[in-house]
Chains A and B, each alone.
Chain A
């Protein structure tokens, strides 16, 4: 773990590295390496002639740098973003550039940038278990800089590839495709664009920043998993749902009746109101169909990798749900319980995934809120899918209670990360998913109730 003083130097090093990458072309950086090597080796001009090479490289770089000091391009840029992207899935968007200047612009490189949230030392330590692949390197273990860079990239949200614009004649507009790969779920916030053009020698680049704020939602990563065979136990559900003709004892329009206090306003039949001047409401036939609940336990803030895995498992389960067949209540059990209905016209899975994308971890272990909610809904539910990142007496008691009530339950427990000494819930049918092999474990779960 780096000492605090060293940690403070990380942003400086990252900024310098970024400026170096943007300011110099690959040839320029090669020449800079040659300059440094030749300057060191040629310090004694009586031993080698390397100083001549150093002088040549130095002069070329200085001349190039001077030639890039002033550049004011007249380029208008517009981002064309998709509705949303998915964490871990390569995606793209478009940039539309209009040349308002008097001459053709070519060899211009565009680097889109996202807002970089600050990364404190405390958060760096918390996120340590999320960073994979860096623990084998002694430099990373001792200093931590490569891990810090990877974490910042993840916090930023996406890796955006710089693109070279095609030649754009004066007054013309070009559209370029920008590759983007989201590295986390949640909002990706675009800050600005950096336009760069090389100097005549091709060693340095002039930079011009264009402030252009936007945001794009990245949905949680989903994994392949078998179809979920949820128990079917149809219960009486209140009416008023659309798309009811699809499956089962669909609710249908039954009759019109006079409005009574407490009737929902969306049941008002406006055409009759227009004819009669009286408030008339539509009366529906109540019906029976399956209703399930997906409980997402967000108590995992202390182990971010496990919490992310919980969200990914929940997103994968949501993706498997066929919205026409049944209602799936997504219950996000954090400090406050959030309930979201999906299926049978009450909202689609995409909406639920968007909520999952924005879910943050809860500090508290308490699941009393969600337990109370489930007790109230038990009579309407056919089955419950619980996704836990943590298993304790409270959760065991809840599971026992649900089972005692005769509810079919599918309990998925995410384990691994730093705290692998999870007590094995041996007496209960709880399926363990390891964070390190989440995709593989999820593909093999037993989904029959």
Chain B
């Protein structure tokens, strides 16, 4: 709807600066926000403006696009899909040139063709846009990526939106009506907020359960939903998750454990009462000692984990005593020994030191010996077949492992099962084939049924060497599950999955794997380079900002496009001959006064405008207008006309 009053949403004075400062405060970009706020409001009230042509606006928009594209590429390469929040967080930086150029221009708007490349070819398309309200909205959205538990964000949103609404308030209503409506909206907002929170809880409780069933889901320290019972072929990707540079003493294949669980219920393993607690860092070094007892140095492994979340489980070999990494902000551990590291998403490099013992893990509890009642008969029946009578714990463990290795086969394909049989029963009695989760779960339950405390563990098996990476790698399809049995006073790995599983998995590699590996290697190298040098490099670049800014200011001041505000108003009036009195006519139109058809300016002003205002009579204004309009007038007349027009129109002209 093209209406002069609707040209843009009016912003209260200094509101853009307020929005920028709020965004800076909430996202820890206060210094940058302060500079931008000063620039964007300072230039608005500065006496100097630049008469920019469309070409300059196009250049500013192109610069913005390039900066945005670069930042998008960098953030996506570093944070994958989570990069969208990082891009949003810095979006006010990207689009700042555009709003600054608008504020510095005499037009105070930008042509639409600056935003849409296709419009640049349409010569007759003259629509313009005030980008300030949109930039303000972007600041609001960008500020939402700050700390999640920050109560200031809500207040910030309310303040900004209230300012917007008060500036756009229709004059037909009284302030009291306006405030009453706001109160109504506030009540509605409160109810909606409660509803959203409740809905989110419901989503987390129900829907996420199903989402987690996807095999690519990231492991959770508190819960592991297995694919037991899933029908058809399990599909896992070739994506490289881990890069390992083992020392000469490390034996391969290597099991890297992420988490272990103690309670099994309807195909889901969970860790009961296992909250994470932060570990203390060694003074002056980014090193965490998991085992406080001083021991002789063990074997060292250099690992690099590709992860997508700020908090991620750290795969580590059994017996890990020390973790060292400059990229980990905080390291936490639960009672099962699972390690949770806080670090930016992307590639996380860390070193672990591994000792010969099992490492620090809590002794078994009653949960580690519990057998779900519905499986009791099945397990007793299977144990009878295994034959463990008269054997000690170590022998029983070995017999159970041998039972699986001798009588079961590894398979990623599960046939359809009948509804009255559980998948585990089908696995133990009939099919005797399955993937590692079947083997690990059945092993844990059999061990428990045999009186040996056991846990279910997940992680990766590392056995593939990549000449390109010059390291051992673990792909997503190398994710593995095994049992932990508490024998002879320590937790031992019982991997009962037939050793052929690794070859079977590798046989499923896609033809594109080489290309994918090459791409993954390039991205990984870039991430390492960025993490190592980029922050230092950008810090050094900051020193260039003041002299460059000074140079830019000097050039802009001397630019032939620079126009002073007073000259701008006068120039605009004098250059466009038919609109010499445009400011005055617009002011009268806003007050509901329009010239009748064919009515002369002189007659209209005598009829509709005040006879004298600001010490200037309307008659004199009309006389000067006609002098300028219909004949060559000396500069003195032109200057006098501008003075009179400014005095007559007052603030409305400025």
Contact = CB atoms under 8 A, between A and B. Distances in A.
9 contacts: A30-B133, A31-B161, A33-B134, A34-B140, A38-B144, A59-B188, A133-B121, A201-B165, A202-B165
A67 interface: yes
B9 interface: yes
A163 interface: yes
Given A27-B9, A46-B148, A202-B168, A55 B3 contact: no
A109 B3 contact: yes
B309 to A, nearest CB: 10
Given A21-B1, A49-B144, A56 B157 contact: yes
A108 to B, nearest CB: 8
Interface string A377-418: 000000000000000000000000000000000000000000
Contacts of B591: 166
A164 B171 CA distance: 13
A30 B9 contact: yes
A174 B144 CA distance: 48
A176 to B, nearest CB: 7
Interface in A47-87: 47-53, 55-60, 62-64, 67
Nearest to A53: B157
Given A49-B153, A59-B192, A111-B1, A30 B185 contact: no
A46 B196 CA distance: 12
Contacts of B185: 59-60, 62-64, 201
Contacts of A38: 140-141, 144
Contacts of A26: 6, 8-9
A423 interface: no
B170 A200 contact: yes
Contacts, number: 159
Contacts of B8: 26
A171 interface: no
Interface of A: 21-22, 25-27, 30-31, 33-34, 37-38, 41-42, 45-53, 55-60, 62-64, 67, 94, 104-107, 109, 111, 133, 136-139, 161-164, 166-167, 174-177, 197-203
9 tightest A-B CB contacts, nearest first: A166-B592, A59-B189, A50-B144, A59-B188, A63-B185, A137-B118, A202-B168, A198-B170, A27-B168
Nearest to A62: B188
B121 A201 contact: no
Contacts of A51: 196
Given A41-B141, A167-B592, A199-B181, A136 B148 contact: no
B189 A55 contact: yes
B45 interface: no
Contacts of A37: 137, 141
A109 B133 CA distance: 22
Interface in B159-174: 161, 164-165, 168-173
Contacts of A64: 181, 185
B26 to A, nearest CB: 9
Contacts of B133: 27, 30
A46 B143 CA distance: 15
B525 interface: no
Given A22-B1, A34-B140, A48 B118 contact: no
B538 interface: no
B182 interface: yes
A38 B138 CA distance: 10
A41 B165 contact: no
A58 B189 CA distance: 8
Contacts of B164: 27, 30
Contacts of B84: 41
A133 B122 contact: yes
A202 B2 contact: no
A199 B157 CA distance: 21
A428 B164 CA distance: 69
A222 B169 CA distance: 45
B3 A47 contact: no
Contacts of B171: 106-107
A56 B189 contact: yes
A53 B140 contact: yes
A174 B134 CA distance: 35
A46 B82 CA distance: 13
B141 A94 contact: no
Contact of B141 (A34, A63, A104): A34
A435 to B, nearest CB: 16
Contacts of B121: 133, 136
B178 interface: yes
Contacts of A41: 84-85, 88, 141, 144
Contacts of B153: 49, 52
Contacts of A199: 170, 181
Contacts of A203: 165
Contacts of A52: 144, 153-154, 157, 193
B137 A60 contact: no
